[in-house]
Structure 1
């Protein structure tokens, strides 16, 4: 079992708080990337910058053997921070509300520890990824040659998880996180005076029927065993109270835990949009913004990550059967390109953590030591 020196843990906490105070939005992580590069070079690693813009890959080699990748996301969110502690964000309207500051510090701590101890045979690639939040930095890194330029047999990531107790790790085989797609529906009718509805074709009535019909897509067109969420979240129509408008705009999101179900939902939603409004003399069209695929762990790598967590100081429970989340994660792109696994690290201490993407959220620094320990254990046990 790896014993992480207190000096490295305290350094990592300091780095984490520095990153928290200076958050940067996806693909703009210039200051963050510069600090990461500076630290990695000081550890004696081989450092490659500018991957997918601001991404970094650092390589540590120690003899012959396989190669694995460890990934941390490093971008922040466009949220005005409500916290008042000393290291709160100095960048207005931007904060680390998802813990990427902590994930980055954990990976830096692991790189420092492994560069000193080198109790493994093979190669470790430390992947610092930009733009996990919405911009798909994982996809951009894959497209920019992450796996062709840096040969690795497996890739891993972790995420802090409010709602789980400190010391608990969740890593399941199969789906961990849902796919995520956004859609925008336009219903086109014929505007008219609100007192003479027979002279027009009302897109609002058609829209109301479509909203309700889409709820039956999940309950009647898919198996009850499928896990799908279709949420209509925006509706815009009209300018005057006495006018039936020409058009109505609906927007929403689709989440699935199977990529095959995801494709079925694309088809069915388009069928509903095309057919339901017809009875009201209205036409419908849908525009998709295809997002992240399902984050699906590979079985062998999930078992390897569970084993590493079970042999990490500070980890009291490893759960391999926890239900997946309907939230999305762009590590999915890396798992589509390379075998690997992703885990959640419980974040709730004596006081429960604020939720992710909340203006009062702060990463729990008590996760730093077990987080570094998981990566050290994984490397030392996988690359014996």
Structure 2
């Protein structure tokens, strides 16, 4: 099924309109009233067989029945935007100050709507296609929230597939890798309290900045001296906040940042050592220090069989030469990982061309990618749910 498939080509102008409407109207996390209403209205116009709304607040699930009975395959797209001020000059730029679709979720949702239209019209498969429109991928762990409702078990999903756009991967190309694909994503916060006072009398104070500096350096040593170098991770301290005046030793200091890795045992080592370092520094410098370590998303792991199925579907869309089966794993996070813990599946990347990077204020999803994403979704359903003569 090449993306120039006549039916897919015919619907692209409409799908482009959907995508650009979504881009103009970005919403955040679970607070997606306009987005979810718009998507539900399009699904009703398309004529899918079932629509389940308000899943995990604003999530939507659409079910399309094939021409015969069979298994159930899930397809997932995310819907939420980011709290970023858009800096593009696109005619369809965000109309909501401080919010924009800087990660392409507008394109993901539009491609899945396009697939809904194609699959509803053709029904060239045996079983059920379950289309999952997810809220709160950007830090809200909306995938887990949807799973926690039990709807996946109720619908009997056997496999689940995801797709994300990739800037600087050419249009008409796909990338995928087997096994660990995207990183476990954790956030941490360290609160340090000492004794503040006048900077001219440091001996009467307990300086939290000295302890913060020791914790900062201690955290960096975890990667070089405690984790397996063949299964390394990343610790990024992204904020150190303390004090305001030149002549005052502050009472408190705060560190925060993120941990990324592709192996759960590395993740465990990093968290354990961070707690030990914070406790040890607190005793050494006479401060109170508390670490909060939040595990947001596990490693996104492409299952072997489904990795193969997704790669083959992509090959049928764009040809072997345009599918990279050894796309390097990345340290970005993705809560689709929770769905892959519950069901075998895989996530694939579709080329977005030479565009600004994800989460950049000048980023825009490339509408030239639409036919390739729709064709991939259609092919994965028809391949995994084949009609038997």
* Category of TM-score, reference length = shorter chain: over 0.9
| Residue 61 (structure 1) aligned to one of 54, 59, 65 | 65
- Displacement of 1:188 in angstroms is 2.4
| Residue 34 (structure 2) aligned to one of 31, 34, 52 | 31
Measured against aligned partners, the alpha-carbon deviations of 1:232-266 in whole angstroms (never above 9, x if no partner) come to 11111224322322321111111111122212211
- Displacement of 1:345 in angstroms is 1.0
- CA distance in 1 between counterparts of 2:88 and 2:248 reads 46
Preserved contact between residue 257 and residue 326 of structure 1 (Cα < 8 Å): yes
**2:189 corresponds to 1:187:** no
Give the corresponding residue for 2:55: 51
SS in 2 for 1:311: helix
**2:32 corresponds to 1:40:** no
- CA distance in 2 between counterparts of 1:22 and 1:320 reads 35
Within a 5 Å distance, the mapping from 1:289-368 to structure 2 comes to 289-313=294-318, 316-348=321-353, 352-368=354-370
Give the corresponding residue for 1:120: 125
- Displacement of 1:195 in angstroms is 2.4
Preserved contact between residue 210 and residue 277 of structure 1 (Cα < 8 Å): no
Give TM-score, length-normalised by structure 1. Answer: 0.95
| Residue 293 (structure 2) aligned to one of 288, 308, 330 | 288
**2:25 corresponds to 1:18:** no
Measured against aligned partners, the alpha-carbon deviations of 1:263-317 in whole angstroms (never above 9, x if no partner) come to 2211111001111343222332101232111111111111100010000047852
- CA distance in 2 between counterparts of 1:105 and 1:12 reads 6
- CA distance in 1 between counterparts of 2:18 and 2:257 reads 38
Measured against aligned partners, the alpha-carbon deviations of 1:77-99 in whole angstroms (never above 9, x if no partner) come to 11121122221111222111111
Give TM-score, length-normalised by structure 2. Answer: 0.94
Give unmatched runs, 5+ long, in structure 2.
none
Count matched residues. Answer: 381
- Runs (4+) off by over 3 Å: 313-316
After superposition, the CA RMSD in angstroms is: 1.5
Measured against aligned partners, the alpha-carbon deviations of 1:318-338 in whole angstroms (never above 9, x if no partner) come to 122222111111111111111
- CA distance in 1 between counterparts of 2:319 and 2:113 reads 19
Measured against aligned partners, the alpha-carbon deviations of 1:110-165 in whole angstroms (never above 9, x if no partner) come to 11111111111111001111111111111110011231221110000100011322
Give the corresponding residue for 2:100: 95
Give unmatched runs, 5+ long, in structure 1.
none
Measured against aligned partners, the alpha-carbon deviations of 1:195-220 in whole angstroms (never above 9, x if no partner) come to 23223322212211221121110000
- Displacement of 1:75 in angstroms is 0.9
